[in-house]
A and B are shown apart, each in its own frame.
Chain A
């Protein structure tokens, strides 16, 4: 359980994090989302005790990080942004060193290190120099460093940046597995990633907390109109008359011309009606052939942009 209470961080002239409060329950995977420079890393650095908040309180499993740093830091595994590693060491040496720093007992150390190396798929490269490893492996070494000592809380700052798609899927499934045993906080500016992995999303922009909710709820909350995506073959361009025949339609937008005789349109109506049945009945009568008809989904992407825009408008 992590409680962040009214935390503010001021740098000389700027406010990086502005009065943020949120809670993360045990076993949750939470995504910290925001554009670059939103204050994600600063927030994470404060939870891990790397920097101290200007004001406010951070409590991990009932202990204040400022009052009992040793106890709290032992419970946190941190993978910082940019994957800092000691390049002159091997993965095995690095993870053993991290285990020592995390106060893993001497007897259990060897076993624990091997367990973590296995979990992160580093067994084969454990005796090569970190310097010579590929980016994906370096990321895993960094993750292994965060996992060693079996901490309750794992904090990952942009864990998938700079990886190729295959490595990204691998790291993601690794993180998903972690959620079974640990509390995980990860930051990202990639929305699809967060909606895939996380059970809860915390959106931050310019140091301020904008929303805390599940990805599904965020999508719903920002969906105030109903959209239908329609791919049709319409040689006579009868689609023009559609608006007159179905009164509920607010607008018809051409999304793209597929250049094979079909075109894709987005039909917007008010949120309380579903036009799919009407369209399905009506269009064939107008000599329009339907290739595809589906409800357009608002993505987390839309929700995110909308939320950030809303805040801007409120300011004006």
Chain B
């Protein structure tokens, strides 16, 4: 897993993708920082993460995940991976954690804003840490969805568009019926910015992640038999 993780992480920063996704995060975060913190003199960092998660992840995650398996499949490098002694599980996990690490890097960078605010007021550190935890959990769930989609197609653009569609669909479906809020990742992120760790939210985010990762592993294994 380690070998694949290292190589994947390196690839993110050998291509512009790593920098662009960090850039998107910084742009979103800065806009909301201006719109809330600076305009209203607020020290509430929680909602900053919420707003960034809602719009930033929508672009960042597909960007990070679209190539994960599509590119390997299209270039045929998939053959190199799957004929190596590494297990499918370690390949999938290596790639998953590499994408998650890029998100983690952005979250760490965002601490700079909290430091700036702390010069002018008191930042509620525990609340911010809880929100950061929530942000990472939501991002990981979104990454697992994106990775699953990427394993289904050879086309990166198709993978990206379908991932965006899946992330965005619940926003509108909720208008039809409240049932759909169950599949809305952002719905599970609502309580974190208030400093609340809801066990049910954590469990549902983690289980979405685990489920998508497992399905990806099963699909890749199964394709060896069918293909």
A interface vs B, CB < 8 Å?
Answer: 11, 45, 48-52, 69-71, 73-74, 76, 78, 80-82, 84-89, 97-98, 100-103, 145
Pick from B15, B83, B84: contact of A88, CB under 8 Å: B15
The reply to whether the CB of B87 lies closer than 8 angstroms to some CB of chain A is yes
Q: Which of B100-114 contact A (CB under 8 A)?
A: none
Q: Give the 3 A-B residue pairs with the shortest CB-CB distance, closest first.
A: A84-B76, A100-B3, A101-B84
- Binary contact track B65-93/A, C-beta < 8 Å → 1, others 0: 00000000001111111111111000000
Complex Cα gap A263–B81 (Å): 58
Q: Is the interface of A mostly helix, strand, loop or mixed?
A: loop
Q: Which residues of A contact B84 (CB under 8 A)?
A: 73, 98, 101-102
Complex Cα gap A85–B77 (Å): 6
Check B225 against A145 for contact (C-beta < 8 Å): no
Q: Which residues of A contact B224 (CB under 8 A)?
A: 49-52
Check A78 against B225 for contact (C-beta < 8 Å): no
- Beyond contacts A85-B75, A102-B84: 18 other A-B pairs, Cβ-Cβ < 8 A, are A11-B227, A49-B83, A49-B224, A50-B83, A51-B225, A69-B85, A70-B85, A76-B83, A84-B75, A84-B79, A84-B80, A86-B7, A86-B77, A97-B7, A98-B84, A100-B3, A100-B7, A103-B85
Total residue contacts A-B, CB cutoff 8 A: 68
Task: List 13 interface pairs A-B (beta carbons < 8 Å), by A numbering.
Answer: A48-B79, A48-B83, A50-B82, A51-B224, A51-B225, A51-B227, A71-B85, A78-B83, A84-B75, A84-B79, A85-B77, A88-B11, A101-B4
Interface size class of B (residues with CB under 8 A): 20 to 34
Q: Chain A nearest CB: distance from B84 CB in Å?
A: 4
Given A50-B224, A100-B3, A73 and B79 contact (CB-CB distance below 8 Å): no
Q: Which residues of A contact B14 (CB under 8 A)?
A: 88-89
Q: Which of B210-227 contact A (CB under 8 A)?
A: 224-225, 227
Q: Which residues of B contact A73 (CB under 8 A)?
A: 83-85
Q: Which residues of B contact A51 (CB under 8 A)?
A: 224-225, 227
Q: Chain B nearest CB: distance from A80 CB in Å?
A: 4
Q: Which residue of B lies closest to A82 (CB)?
A: B76
Q: Which residues of A contact B75 (CB under 8 A)?
A: 84-87
Q: Chain B nearest CB: distance from A106 CB in Å?
A: 10
Pick from A49, A81, A82, A98: contact of B82, CB under 8 Å: A49
Check B77 against A101 for contact (C-beta < 8 Å): no
Q: Which residues of A contact B83 (CB under 8 A)?
A: 48-50, 73, 76, 78, 80
Q: Which residues of B contact A89 (CB under 8 A)?
A: 14
Check A74 against B85 for contact (C-beta < 8 Å): yes
Complex Cα gap A113–B38 (Å): 54
Q: Which residues of B contact A97 (CB under 8 A)?
A: 3, 7
Complex Cα gap A11–B225 (Å): 10
Q: Which residues of A contact B227 (CB under 8 A)?
A: 11, 51
Q: Which residue of A lies closest to B222 (CB)?
A: A52
Check A80 against B11 for contact (C-beta < 8 Å): no
Complex Cα gap A171–B145 (Å): 44
Q: Chain B nearest CB: distance from A36 CB in Å?
A: 17
Q: Which residue of A lies closest to B221 (CB)?
A: A52
Q: Which residue of B lies closest to A42 (CB)?
A: B227
Check B86 against A86 for contact (C-beta < 8 Å): no
Q: Which residue of B lies closest to A70 (CB)?
A: B85
Complex Cα gap A80–B83 (Å): 10
